[in-house]
Structure 1
Amino acid sequence: MKLNVYNMNNQFAIQILNWKYKPPYDFYNNEYSEEALEELLDSSYYALVDMENELFGFFCTGKSAQVPAGHAMGVYEEKFIDMGLGMNPMLVGEGRGTEFCLLIIKLVEEKFQNTPIRLTVAKFNNRAIHLYGKLGFVEEHEFETERAEFMTMVRRRE
């Protein structure tokens, strides 16, 4: 799979804010708002575009990849680079997740050399948790918000 990486722009951000996932993954649906648009355009988000110039997915790093409630629980105190990602809902479940995630991991590792990667995932998302485990992530912490239970998973560089 060949994907091009671009800084997030207005066009891609609006597409992402309008993506609709099927239950139970509709938890990840966004509502379009100026605040949501501004977050996607804050320079920590990147768009991944296929060879037909279609938006395949996105990823972000840093604070944007964290669930704010986790700070009160102390799950983000260790020095890691946080990574978040999302795949176009029209492409989910087609067996492309491993390659998609590996590309993002490679990009993050190149930019933040020797820094372990942390991601936060909703605990109901067994499909993602299984994939992250296959890619070398291990469960680190768990915490709960009003909306869901989450876990952080960490991939340490060898």
Structure 2
Amino acid sequence: MTKVIATDILSWKYDPPYDLYNNDFTDGAISELMNEGYIAVEDESGALIGFYCSGHSAQVPAGRGAGAYTEPAIDVGVGMHPELTGKGNGSLFLSFVLNELKTLSSDSIFRLTVAKFNKRAMKLYENLGFKKTYEFKSDTNEFIIMLKW
């Protein structure tokens, strides 16, 4: 992740109801993308198509307080360019990310946290073998934990 790529990602704007995923453009946000294990994903031509992170960076803080992340698993966070979402690109993108993360452990359990309203993402995750296991709330949203064994 470079500063140029982080700046690009922070400029992405998703249409409602997915605007929950819009980011504020701050020095702290740039620093987080550059220093917290975020990985940029580019296509064969070098165009930025998305990013992913794992571990602590992929967790929702309210979920930590609710005990959602007590079991061992590789937490996965993903973001795809808004122009590519909702067009059937998610399966290939997430499969690529999971294959990359499998290098951390061959018998890994993967864990995703998804906003409860995001039925489109949940359908994708279920199609790739994830199962809903836990729900929690933040001050403003509800979330679902999904696991893949």
Q: Secondary structure at the match of 2:70?
A: coil
Match of 1:4 in 2: none
Aligned equivalent of 2:9, options 7, 12, 16: 16
| 8 Å CA contact retained: 1:123, 1:150 | yes
Moved more, 12-21 or 110-119: 110-119
**Unaligned stretches of 5+ residues in structure 1:** 1-7
How far the C-alpha of 1:42 sits from its partner, in A, is: 1.4
2-side partners of 1:38 and 1:153: how far apart? 28
1-side partners of 2:54 and 2:35: how far apart? 11
| 8 Å CA contact retained: 1:122, 1:150 | yes
TM-score by length of 2: 0.97
How far the C-alpha of 1:34 sits from its partner, in A, is: 0.9
2-side partners of 1:9 and 1:43: how far apart? 12
What do the CA deviations read for 1:10-69 (whole angstroms, capped 9, x no partner)?
111111111000110011000111111111011511011012221000000000000001
Aligned equivalent of 1:103, options 80, 93, 96: 96
How far the C-alpha of 1:127 sits from its partner, in A, is: 0.2
TM-score by length of 1: 0.91
Match of 2:74 in 1: 81
| 8 Å CA contact retained: 2:53, 2:78 | yes
How far the C-alpha of 1:84 sits from its partner, in A, is: 0.2
Q: Secondary structure at the match of 1:90?
A: helix
Match of 1:72 in 2: 65
Q: How does 1:87-126 map to 2 (within 5 A)?
A: 87-126=80-119
Give the counterpart letter for 1:129 in structure 2.
M
Match of 2:125 in 1: 132
Q: Secondary structure at the match of 2:82?
A: coil
Q: Are residues 1:61 and 2:54 paired?
A: yes
How far the C-alpha of 1:111 sits from its partner, in A, is: 2.5
More helix by proportion, 1 or 2? 2
Give the aligned CA root-mean-square deviation in angstroms. 0.9
1-side partners of 2:109 and 2:3: how far apart? 30
